[in-house]
Amino acid sequence: MASNEEILAGLAEIINEETGLAPEAVQPDKSFTDDLDIDSISMMTIVVNAEEKFGVRIPDEEVKNLSTVGDAVDFISKAQA
């Protein structure tokens, strides 16, 4: 099971590959849409890659609740437990 720091780093890597955003820009308090300017299509790619990387399932109805990077880290952390 990955720590929150490892999950954050992994998400930063996935977001960097998908959007070109610098990994250090990906912080827990950042909103995917408002701060990181990630659209719904990129978000779905990020979700699929995160599911593969962390071995979790993120249902489509949960994705809309993941508004910040921290929300995603928390969800993945709980899903791994």
pLDDT of residue 1: 86
4-80 — its CATH code?
1.10.1200.10
Q: What whole-number distance in Å separates Cα of residue 37 and Cα of residue 58? A: 21
Whole-prediction pTM value? 0.94
User: In percent, how much of the chain has pLDDT > 90?
Assistant: 96
